Amino acid sequence: MSLLLSIKNLRVLFNTRQGQTVAVDDLSFDLNQGDTLAIVGESGSGKSVACYSLLGLIPTPPGKIESGTALFNGEDLLQMDEAQLRKIRGNKISMIFQDPMTSLNPYMTVLDQLVEVLKQHHQINKKDAREKAVAALMDVGIEDAENRIDDYPHQFSGGMRQRVMIAMALMAEPQLLIADEPTTALDVTVQAQILKLIKDIQIKRQLAVIFITHDLAVAAQVSNQILVMEKGRQVEYGDTGTLFTESTQPYTQKLLSSVLRGGKVFPSFVDKNSKPLVEIHNLQTSFGISTGSFFQTKKLRKTVLENINLNIYSGEILGLVGESGSGKSTLGRSVIRLLESDKGEVIFEGRNLVELDYGQLKSARRDFQMIFQDPYASLDPRMTVFDTLAEPLLHHHLANKNNIEEQVNQLLDDVGLDRRFLRRYPHEFSGGQRQRIAIARAISVKPKLIIADEPVSALDVTIRAQILQLLLELTQKHQLTLLFISHDMSVIRYICDRVIVMKDGHLIEQGETEEIFNNPKELYTQQLLDSVPRF
Amino acid sequence: MQIEKGTSLTQDAIRRLRQNRMAMSGLWILVFIIIIALLTPWIAPYSYEEQNLALGASAPSFEHWLGTDTLGRDQLTRIMYGSRVSLMVGFVATSVALTIGVLWGAIAGFLGGRVDAVMMRIVDALYALPFTIFIVLLTVIFGSSMLLLFLAIGAVEWLTMARIVRGQVLNVKQQEFIEASVSIGLSPWQIISRHIVPNVLGPIIVYSTLTIPSVILLESFLSFLGLGVQPPASSWGSLISGGVETMEEYPWLLIFPGLTLTITLFSLNFLGDGLRDALDPRSARD
C-alpha cells in the first residue's frame, strides 16, 4: 500500500479574547491508500479542527496553523495557497458533514449539486454529467435514481440525504474522504446502513478514509487505525484491533468505560401488583394540517399515535424505543398534555388528564415534568441558573423569598453542580452541565412522573455515562418514575427496567428489558438490536 | 470561591451597559440634549418668534452663534425650541408604537391559529390605508393638534413593530424552553412576559432606535401638511425642510439643524446597540 497522507507535528492555534488556545497540538499520523483512520474524541478535542485545517477550511484569523507538515501525495497541503487548495478540495480530498439536513442547498436539485462538483474540476458536457450523477446515486443505493435526481433535498429522508452527500463527495473520484460524524444525526438502523455503504465503497474504490467520531463503537466497526484525541493532543494512535485490548492510557480507558455495556446493575424495586401510577387506554393523537384559504379551511388530520395502551408503575424506569417518526416523542408529550389528544384516557392518580380543564391542569402540572433533548434550547438564554430553578419553586409555592436561595442551592448539590454557578447564564455552561440544570428544574417541584425525551443523545459519550448515572441516583433518591425516550438501544438497556418498542405510532412490543434484548419477539425489534454497533 | 456577581437580567444589563463606552457616551449626549430641551424657555438667548427683518439671514456671529434665518430669527433658539417638539414626538410616538406593536405581535404570535390570522389581517388592512389621505382626513375632521399628531404617527408605526415581533415570537415559541415553562404550569401571560418578550428584545430595541428618527422626519412632513407644528413654532424637521430650500444661499440654515439631528440619531443608535448587547447575556465579554 502506498502512503497517501502524512501529517507531522501539526499545531493549530486560535486567538480569542481570553488569549491563545491550542486547538491541535503536535498531531502526527500516516494514512495509506485504502485504509481507514478513525479520529476519536469528545467535542472540543480538536478532531474536526485538525481535518479542516488540512483543507484550509478553518477561519484565519482567529485560527492559525502554527507549525507542521501535511504531505498529500508528497505535496505539503499547509504550504498551498487558496487556488491550489481549491483544486484539491472536492477533487482529490472530499468531505461529508454531520448534518445531512443542512449540508445540502435546499434551493438546488440534487442533480445540480452533484454536477457542480464535476464542473468545478473537469470539462464535461451536460449529458455525460447527468449520466455520471445518476451512476453515483445508484452507487450509494438510491433507488429510481434516474427520476429522483431531479428532486430537491427536502424530498429525501435524513438517511437518503446522507447518501446524496456521499455521492456528491465521490463524484470527482477523490483519493481521500474525510467523514465528520456522518452518522451522528441518524437513526440507529440508518446509521448501520450508512456505515456499511461507506465501507463497501471504500473497498471498491481503494479509498482512504478519515472518520471523525465520538463513538468508540462506530470507530471500532469502520476503522483499521484509531487515533484518540483529548484537548488537542494525540493521546493514543494504533491499530484498531490492539488498541481496545492493550491500551494503557487513562483517557482511552475512560472512553472505553463510558461505552455502555450490559443491562441495569440494580433494577428498581417495582411492585407490579400495585396499582399503576399511570394507566393509558386507547390514546390517539393526531396533528391537523390545514390547507385552503382563511374562510374555507380544509382540515386534514394525520394520526401519529393510535390505540396506545400502557401502564407505568411507580418507581420504574420505562424505556420507549423507536426510530424518528415513530411517535415516541408525541406519546411522551401527549401523556402530560403538552400535546392534546383526540381520544383515550390517561389515568393519573384517579384523574383522567385528558379531561382536566385549564385550571385543574395548571395545578396538576406539578406532578409531571419533562427533560428535553437539546440542552441548548431547553433553558431560557436570558435567565440565570437561579432564576430558571427558582421559577417553578415560587410558582407552586414550594419556597418563599427567605428560603429560595437555600432550596436552589440544594438542587444544584443534587445534580452535582457547583453552588458558585448560581448566577451564570446557560451559554456559559457545557452541554452536560446544561442538561444537569434541566434535570434540576424537572426535579425541583418533586414530581411523581418525569418524561425524559432523549436526554442524553446530544451529549458526548463520557458525559452521557455521567448523566445516566445521575438519573439513576436521582430516581432512587427521590423515588421518581421515569418514562425514558431514546433511540439508542445501549442507553435503554443500561438504564431501563422495562421497554416498549414503537413503530409508526403503534406499540409493537413490550416487556422486561433483558427479555426484550435476549428474546425479541418481533422482527422489527430484532432489526433495531442488530443495528447497534458492537466491538 | 465566591458566588459570582449579578442578580437579575436588568442588573446585569445595567452593569454591562456601563462597560460599553460608545453606548454610555450616547446616553450622556442624549441626556444633555433632553436637559437643554427642558430648560429652553429659561435659557434660550432669544424668543422663538422675535424677528429682525433688517438683519435677514446672517451667518454665525457673536450675537447669533448659529446665525439667523431669512426673517432674522435666531437659529440656536429655534433649534432649542424645535428639540422640544421633535424629541417629544420621537419618544412619545415611538413608545405608543412600541407598546401596541409588541403586545399585538406577541399575542398574535403566541396564540397562533385563528386569533393570529385575524389579528394580522387587521394589520394588513391598516397597512393598505394610504397614509397621506388618512392624515388629511384626520385634519379635516378634528383640526390640527399635537395629540392628533401622536395618534396619527402611532397608528402607522406600530404596524411594522407588530409584524417584526410576531415573526420573532413564532421563532422563540418553538424552542423547548417554552415547552418547559408550559410543563411547569405557567399561564400564557406569564410565559409571554417572562420568557418570550425578554427573548425578542434585541430586534425590538434595534427597530425602536430606527423608529425614532423616522418619526422625527415624519413629523416635518405632517407639519408641512398643516398637522402638528405651525410657524412660528419650530421643530427639527421643519427647520431642515426650510433649510433645504435655501441651501445654496444660506447653508448654515441646513447644516446646524441637520447636525443636531445627526448627533441625536447617532447617540440613539449607539445606545440602542449597547442596550441590545447588554440585554443579551450571550454577548458578555468578561
pLDDT of residue B263: 92
Q: Beta A278-292 vs A93-96: how paired, if at all?
A: unpaired
Q: Using CA coordinates, name the residue in chain B closest to A362.
A: B185
In angstroms, the CA A69 to CA A53 distance is: 11
Residue from the list B2, B177, B190 with its beta carbon closest to the beta carbon of A380:
B177
DSSP 3-state assignment of A228? strand
Query: Is omega for the bond preceding A100 within 30 degrees of 0, making it cis?
Result: no
pTM for this one? 0.79
Helix (H, G, I), strand (E, B) or coil at B137: helix
Q: What is the DSSP letter of A104?
A: S
**Which string of b and e fits A377-413 if b means at least 16 CB within 10 Å?**
bbbbbbbbbbbbbbbbbebbeebeeeebeebbbebbe
As a whole number of angstroms, the distance between CA A514 and CA A489 comes to 12
Find the helix or strand (DSSP H, E) in which A509 lies.
strand A506-512
Note whether A285 and A353 are within 8 A (CB): no
Which residues in chain A are closer than 8 Å to B180, comparing Cβ atoms?
Answer: 370, 372, 378-379, 438, 441
Q: A449, A421, A451, A452: which is closest to A437 by C-alpha?
A: A421
pLDDT value of position A438: 93
pLDDT digits (tens, 9 = 90+) for B130-176: 877 777 777 778 776 777 777 778 778 889 999 999 999 998 888 88
Cross-chain Cβ contact B176/A374 below 8 Å: yes
**A374: distance to nearest CA of chain B, Å?**
8
A374 touching chain B per CB within 8 A: yes
Contacts of B275 in chain A (CB under 8 A): none
- pLDDT at position A386, please? 92
**Grid cell for residue B202:** 434585541
Q: Which residues of A88-107 are buried (b: 16+ CB within 10 A; e: fewer)?
A: bbbbbbbbbbbbbeebbeee
Look at residue A191 in the predicted model and tell me its pLDDT: 82
- What is the ipTM for the molecules in this complex? 0.74
Cβ within 8 Å, pair B4-A423: yes
- Any residues with CB less than 8 A from the CB of A24 and at least 6 apart, and which? A10, A11, A12, A46, A49, A50, A53, A232
- Which residues of chain B are within 8 Å of residue A374 when distances are taken between CB atoms? 176
How far apart, in whole angstroms, are the C-alpha atoms of residue A403 and residue A388?
Answer: 16
Of A335, A382, A457, which to mutate for an interface test with B (greatest number of B Cβ within 10 Å)? Answer: A382
- A444/B161 Cα distance (integer angstroms): 38
- How is residue A82 written as a grid cell? 487558496
Does the beta carbon of A441 lie under 8 angstroms from any beta carbon of chain B? yes
Residue of B nearest to A372 (CA): B176
Residues A181, A60: Cα–Cα separation, whole Å: 23
Q: How many CB pairs under 8 A join A and B?
A: 97
The pLDDT of residue B2: 42
Q: How far apart are CA B215 and CA A459, in angstroms?
A: 49
- For position B4, what pLDDT does the model report? 46
**Which residue of B183, B190, B198 is in closest CB contact with A365?**
B183
Instruction: Flag residues of chain A having pLDDT under 70.
Output: 1, 17-18, 262-263, 265-266, 268-269, 289-299, 534-535
**pLDDT value at B3 more than 50:** no
Is A76:A56 a contact under the CB 8 Å cutoff?
no
Q: Do A338 and B183 touch (CB under 8 A)?
A: yes
From CA A195, how far away is CA A218, in angstroms rounded? 8
pLDDT score of B1 more than 50: no
Q: Which of B117, B186, B285 sits opposite A395 (nearest CB)?
A: B186
Residues 6 or more apart whose CB falls under 8 angstroms from that of A356 comprise A337, A364
Q: DSSP alpha helices (H): ranges in B112-232?
A: 113-128, 131-142, 146-173, 176-184, 188-191, 197-199, 201-225
Helices B75-111 & B146-173 angle (0-180, nearest 10)? 40
Q: At what angle do helices B75-111 and B236-245 cross, to 10 degrees?
A: 120
Q: Which residue of B has its CA nearest to A429?
A: B282
Q: How far is CA A17 from the centre of its chain?
A: 30
The alpha-helical segments, DSSP class H, found in A396-454 are 404-414, 431-444
What is the rounded distance in angstroms from the CA atom of residue B68 to the CA atom of residue B55? 8
| Confidence tier at B284 by pLDDT (50, 70, 90) | low
DSSP assignment of A21-33: EEEEEEEEEEEET
SS3 B204: helix
The C-alpha atoms of residue A190 and residue A353 are separated, in whole angstroms, by 36
Q: What is the pLDDT of residue B5?
A: 47
A377 at the B interface (CB within 8 A)? Answer: yes
Residues of A in contact with B194 (CB under 8 A): 391
- Report the C-alpha gap between B228 and B244 in whole angstroms: 20
Contacts of B182 (CB under 8 A, 6+ apart): A338, A365, B191
From CA A221, how far away is CA B262, in angstroms rounded?
66
CA distance B85 to B90: 8
> Cα distance from B105 to chain A (closest Cα, Å)?
19
Whether residue B89 has pLDDT greater than 70: yes
- pLDDT tens for B100-109 read 999 999 999 9
Nearest CA in chain A to B285: A17
Reported as type and span, the H/E element at residue A164 is helix A158-170
| Cα gap B114→A341, rounded to integer Å | 20
Pairing state of beta strands A19-32 and A3-16?
antiparallel
Which grid cell is B231? Answer: 410657524
Interface of chain B against chain A, CB under 8 Å?
A: 1-9, 117, 121, 175-177, 179-187, 190, 194-195, 198-199, 279-282, 284-285
Residue A276 DSSP class: P
Could you tell me which residues come within 8 angstroms of residue A295 by beta carbon, excluding any fewer than 6 positions away? none
* Chain B hits for A420, Cβ within 8 Å: 1-4
CA distances from A186 to A60, A105, A201 (A): 31, 19, 19
Q: Determine the pLDDT at residue B101.
A: 92
Between A381, A396, A422, which is nearest B199 by CB? A381
Q: Are B248 and B3 in contact (CB under 8 A)?
A: no
Beta strands in A362-410 (DSSP E): 368-371
